Amino acid sequence: MNLYEKARGLIPGGVNSPVRAFRSVDMDPVFIRSAKGPYLYDVNGNRYIDYIDSWGPMILGHGREDLIEKAKGYLEEGLTFGLPSDIEVEMAELVTKATGTQMVRMVNSGTEATMSAIRLARGYTGREKLIKFEGCYHGHSDSLLVKSGSGTLTFNAPTSAGVPMDTIKHTLVCEYNNMDSVREVLREFPGQIACVILEPIAGNMGVVPPDIHFLTELRELTREEGILLIFDEVITGFRIGYGSVSKDWNMEADLYCFGKIIGGGLPVGAFAGPREIMNHLSPVGDVYQAGTLSGNPLAMKMGRDVLTILRDNPQIYQKMEDLAERLDRGLTAKLEETKTPGVVKRYRSMLSLFFGEFEDIRSYEDVKGADTQMYARYFKEMLAQGILLAPAQFEGIFLSDAHNEELIDYTIEAAGKAMLAMRK
């Protein structure tokens, strides 16, 4: 019995998170045994260039020797105490300073971060409704597993079985980059909306950059209406630059959610904001939130070390952006050369290659037109050339400090070959 077969008997679908099952690319998953630098090694000893980066956390590449050495020491100091520790204070200072916030609460995943930030927004405003945008992903808590229904604003549908209609009745779904859709909802529910949550750069429908006017108008309008603006920066935080991407636009959200990178590869999430709001959390305030392993010392120390390296080496961001631009130009050229329909969307170091014919890509409505079968063929051709892309069209390409121009150029050449081979 092969590993996948065995896994499927023991774990639903053989995986602990659905995208890993490779269903979108119509093949069996690759099981990884180890990783080093920019490479993943599967259980059969094959080596792949990793463009998944564990979906973001491995921004410095896998298995940096200095971090491994430090981690060994951390193991000696203790794994978890269930009591406050000094590293939590140090990490809180690091994160708040980097993000221009005053307070932060640590949790164990991005899902927890957004779920808790929304509870806080509701508790703080005394309002119940929230706005999210179609195609933005904020983890798998009940009230966020929603898509817009046909027709009316109030008729949304859960995207998962097991989510009661009553749980999502306060979730309003708008179109990304479309302020009219937000204004319409605000008119319909005056004074009832607690928060608007979004990925400031959408990364979970493939990379869809925001229209700056959309963001600034959204900021103004939410401020006027007393609605909290929540930036879900579980991907963008510490990836576009050190801290929040909102610096790029000279903008401030009310609450920020982080995850992925800030745990340095261990399970961490966080949400942050001003004292005035954050002090509504228990034990000071009346919004309950807790976690046995929250602020886990090992995770805090690994996160602290990764963030410190990023803070002290800003050239890493420039390097990733340069590599992304190189990849963008190279892939775009290969699309043209091979007459393959597709487009690259990029914001600094975040990018996606969408297959299909597009006028523009601004929202979920637009990305829905992507040719997922073409992506599946492309993915397989790339895999055969030792390149592991995200096993789904609607994901980004994740770069790390361990990537370099040589790997990018190899990837571009491989993409050209893949595009030719896909026609057959």
Ligand X SMILES: *Cc1c(COP(=O)(O)O)cnc(C)c1O
Q: What does the binding site for ligand X look like in residue numbers (CB under 6 A)?
A: 109-111, 114, 137-139, 199, 203-204, 232, 234-235, 259, 269
Residue 256 annotated among the catalytic residues of the structure = no
Min dist CB 179 to ligand X, Å, is 21
Min dist CB 384 to ligand X, Å, is 28
Min dist CB 295 to ligand X, Å, is 16
Q: Which of 48, 51, 124, 137 is catalytic?
A: 137
How many Cβ atoms sit within 10 Å of the Cβ of residue 288? 11
Nearer to ligand X, 195 or 422 (CB): 195
The radius of gyration computed from the CA coordinates of the chain, to the nearest angstrom, equals: 21
Separation CA 269–CA 105 (nearest Å): 9
How far, CA to CA in Å, does 259 sit from each of 190, 269, 365? Answer: 32, 4, 27
Min dist CB 377 to ligand X, Å, is 26
Separation CA 60–CA 52 (nearest Å): 13
Min dist CB 347 to ligand X, Å, is 14
Dihedrals phi, psi of 232, to nearest 5 degrees: -85, 100
Nearer to ligand X, 121 or 407 (CB): 121
Nearer to ligand X, 85 or 114 (CB): 114
Nearer to ligand X, 134 or 232 (CB): 232
Nearer to ligand X, 139 or 273 (CB): 139
Please measure the distance between the N-terminal and C-terminal CA atoms of the chain and give it in whole angstroms: 32
Q: Which of 260, 319, 334, 380 is catalytic?
A: 260
Of 233, 229, 312, the residue nearest 270 (C-alpha): 233
Of 199, 145, 147, the residue nearest 167 (C-alpha): 145
Q: Which of 53, 232, 254, 366 is catalytic?
A: 232
Report the amino acid identity of residue 91.
Answer: M
Min dist CB 138 to ligand X, Å, is 5
Q: Which two tokens stand for residue 63?
A: 């298995």
Min dist CB 176 to ligand X, Å, is 13
Residue 232 annotated among the catalytic residues of the structure = yes
Nearer to ligand X, 234 or 302 (CB): 234
| Contact by Cβ (8 Å): 366, 360 | yes
Nearer to ligand X, 253 or 374 (CB): 253
Of 309, 306, 399, 389, the residue nearest 348 (C-alpha): 399
Min dist CB 259 to ligand X, Å, is 5
Nearer to ligand X, 354 or 398 (CB): 398
The CB-nearest residue to ligand X is: 110
Residue 288 annotated among the catalytic residues of the structure = no
**Which positions are catalytic?**
137, 232, 260
